Amino acid sequence: MNLLNTIRTKISILAAAVFLVLFLAVPPFHNWLVNIFDLFRDPQVMREYIAGYGLFAPLISAMLMIFQSVAAPLPAFLITFANGLLFGVWWGTALSWSSAMLGAALCFSIARYFGRPVVVKLISESALAASDRFFERYGKHAVLIARLVPIISFDVISYGAGLTGIRFLGFWIATGIGQLPATILYSYLGGEATGTIKILFWAFGVIIAISIVTFLIKRRSKFDPAV
47 lies in some domain: yes
Burial of residue 165 (CB within 10 Å: 0-12, 13-18, 19+) is: exposed
Identify the pLDDT of residue 222: 47
Q: How many domains does the chain have?
A: 1
pLDDT, tens digit, 9 for 90 and up, residues 147-203: 887 777 888 999 999 999 899 999 999 999 998 888 888 787 766 655 444 554 555
Determine the residue type at 22: L
Taking the C-alpha atoms of residue 136 and residue 227, their distance in angstroms, rounded to an integer, is 11
What average pLDDT is seen over the chain? 76
Q: What angle do CA 162, 164, 167 make, to 5 degrees?
A: 70
Q: What is the mean pLDDT of residues 124-145?
A: 89
- DSSP one-letter code for 54: G
Which of 12-21, 36-45, 176-185 has the least mean pLDDT? 12-21
218 lies in some domain: yes
23 lies in some domain: no
Q: At what angle do helices 57-70 and 27-39 cross, to 10 degrees?
A: 90
9 lies in some domain: no
Report whether the peptide linkage leading into residue 73 is cis, meaning its omega lies within 30 degrees of zero. yes
14 lies in some domain: no
| Share in percent of the chain as helix, strand, coil (round to 5) | 85, 0, 15
Taking the C-alpha atoms of residue 18 and residue 51, their distance in angstroms, rounded to an integer, is 30
Residue 133's domain comprises: 40-223
| pLDDT tops 70 at residue 70 | yes
Identify the pLDDT of residue 62: 92
| Cβ contacts of 153 within 8 Å, gap of 6 or more | 72, 73, 127
Tell me the whole-structure pTM to 2 decimals: 0.72
Tallying the residues shown for the chain, one arrives at: 227
82 lies in some domain: yes
Q: Round to the nearest angstrom and report the end-to-end CA distance of the chain.
A: 36
pLDDT category at 226 given cuts 50, 70, 90 is: very low
124 lies in some domain: yes
Cβ-contact 185, 201 below 8 angstroms: yes
Taking the C-alpha atoms of residue 106 and residue 147, their distance in angstroms, rounded to an integer, is 16
8 lies in some domain: no
